[in-house]
Amino acid sequence: MKFDKPAIDADAQIALLRSRGLLIPDEARAKHYLRFIGYYRLAGYSLPLQIDYNADGSHRFLDGVSFDDVLDLNDRSAAEGCVTRHPLGRPVGGTAG
């Protein structure tokens, strides 16, 4: 499989997200999460916050959407995954009843 998109660093990822209308008030924090979670994982969570993302491929964000909004979707999914998709089918951090 051939990939045509070159890898870009966190500064370029932030610039790209801002050019698409994402509000990023704390650049250092955004860099941390882009490195820790990853651009493409967060990009998937950002799709519902974009304007007709499948229609034209522009990936423009809805007005007022911030990096924290994307993180919130990621965090919510991760928390739900701990309970619903644990490999052993047990809640994480819960107590046996």
Residue 1 resides in a domain: no
Query: Does 48 fall in a domain?
Result: yes
Q: What stretches of 1-97 show up as alpha helix (H) in DSSP?
A: 10-19, 27-36, 39-46, 53-56, 67-84
Contact 63, 21 (CB under 8 A): yes
Q: Does 24 reside within a domain? A: yes
Q: Which domain holds residue 16?
A: 10-84
The mean pLDDT value for 48-77 works out to 83
Look at residue 71 and tell me if it is in a domain: yes
Residue 85 pLDDT: 41
Position 5 in a domain: no
Q: pLDDT value at position 96?
A: 45
The answer to the question of residue 69 being in a domain is yes
pLDDT above 90 covers what percent of the chain? Answer: 39
Mind listing the pLDDT tens digit for each residue in 22-49? 999 999 999 999 998 888 888 888 888 8
Contact present, 24 and 65 (Cβ < 8 Å): no
Distance CA 8, CA 32 (A): 15
pTM of the model: 0.71
Domain count, the chain: 1
- pLDDT number for residue 9: 94
For 67, list phi and psi in degrees, rounded to 5.
-60, -35
